[in-house]
Amino acid sequence: MPARAQSFDIRQSVGRSVLGAASHTGRFSFFLADAFRGLPEVRIWWPRMLIEAWNIGIGSLLIVILISAFAGAVTALQTGYQFTGSIPYYVVGTLVVSSIILELGPVLTALILSGRIGARYAAELGTMRVTEQIDALESLGRSPASHLVLPRVIAGFIMIPALTVFANLSGVAAGWLSVKAVLPVTDADFVYGAQYYYRPFDAYYSLIKAFFFAGAITTISCYMGFNTQQGAEGVGKSTTTAVVASSVLILVLDVVITRILLNQ
């Protein structure tokens, strides 16, 4: 009997999860459709978008530069540790620049911002939901999508790729300085190596990834905030879910985009 009861519970649990996932997929689609419908209302979302863009950009710039610089430095130092002398020194420039621009810059920036911006958006909108501020907007015949969602999503699409550029620059600069401390690499060697395997597409690839990551962070966190339930506990739950879900999606997108754009 206990075994039968257990299998019944598992079926119920799986069924509930499948229904939950289907329900989220449906609601997320409607949420995105609502947001798209708000696009023509430029007069409403434009001024709010500028404020959000300022908050995201200026507020996150220092932490993004700092973390990317440390990542660049560690990449360079580990490269130095693994060098045995059989490979030309200029290769270190290739390794640092490629690692930062192709992977570490966009992914680390996105993961930092999923915590910083994603949590903020989910908590802000979640609090607005539980304090009926979103209902109040609707009751005034105004669209929550153009007042609340679009300014945040569009600001993310603009500022997250821009922050990724700063992350790439600081990561490469920190890597360059660090590698000179552990290996006898000249500036000319580093620049030669950096340019040797560099293709202009690498920079576009970095920005394409940042653009998709921006979409994942902003839409998921706004969606979770919008669907918050049950007071303060619900706000906490939405915030956690937003950060976890957007972080996982960033890693999944990283693999998918790399497979599509770099391994054809």
Partner 1 sequence: MISLRGVTKRFGTQTVLNGVDFEVQEGETVALLGPSGTGKSVLLKHIIGLIKPDSGSIVVDGKDVSHLDRKELAEFRQSIGYVFQNGALFDSDNVFENVRLGIVDESKFKDLDYATERVTQCIKLVNLQPDVVLQKYPAELSGGMRKRVGIARAIAGSPKYLLYDEPTSGLDPVNADIIDGLVKRLDEELGVTSVMVTHDVRGAFRVADRLALLSEGKIVMQGTPQEFLESKNAKVQEFLERDFDNPSFAA
Chain residues in the site for partner 1 (CB under 8 A): 37, 127-128, 131-133, 135-143
Query: 239-244: long-range contacts at Cβ-Cβ below 8 A with a sequence spacing of 24 or more?
Result: 239/119, 239/122, 239/123, 239/126, 241/122, 242/118, 242/119, 242/121, 242/122, 243/114, 243/115, 243/118, 243/119, 243/122
- Nearest to partner 1 of 132, 233 (CB atom): 132
- Nearest to partner 1 of 68, 127 (CB atom): 127
- Nearest to partner 1 of 56, 112 (CB atom): 56
Q: Least separation, in Å, of the C-beta of 191 and partner 1?
A: 47
Q: Least separation, in Å, of the C-beta of 57 and partner 1?
A: 18
Q: Least separation, in Å, of the C-beta of 26 and partner 1?
A: 16
- Nearest to partner 1 of 38, 156 (CB atom): 38
**Distance (Å, rounded) from C-alpha 140 to C-alpha 109?**
38
Q: Least separation, in Å, of the C-beta of 134 and partner 1?
A: 9
Residue type, 201: F
Q: How many residues does the chain have?
A: 264
**Distance (Å, rounded) from C-alpha 149 to C-alpha 151?**
6
Structure tokens at 251: 């890693």
